[in-house]
Amino acid sequence: MEEFASFLSSDIGLGGILGTVILLIIFGGLVPWRQHRAALAEKDKQLDEFRQDKLAQRQIIDEQANQISLLIPKIELSVHIADAFKKFGAGEGP
């Protein structure tokens, strides 16, 4: 490790190393661990909210499907009654 450190400091110089570290921090190559943990926590929070929204949407879709299933027989009855009135109005009778 000492050979590596001496290689960097002798060839690049301390200013070059410091400049490289600053550029890495600016462009996201080096991120402080607290900031990294905070970003991961925020991402996890967003994923949890997304999952909750998806679950709520799924419950709404299931409720709508249930309501549609309940309405179909009533609609069929209404159509049958309307057809009977149409025939009765035309004088065909039952």
Structure tokens of 22? 């600053």
Question: What DSSP line would sit under 47-84, residue for residue?
Answer: HHHHHHHHHHHHHHHHHHHHHHHHHHHHHHHHHHHHHH
For the full predicted model, state whether its pTM sits above 0.75: no
> How does pLDDT run along the chain (94 residues), one tens digit per residue?
455 555 555 677 778 888 888 888 888 777 778 988 999 999 999 999 999 999 999 999 999 999 999 999 999 999 999 998 888 876 655 5
Q: CB within 8 A of 24, min separation 6: which ones?
A: 30
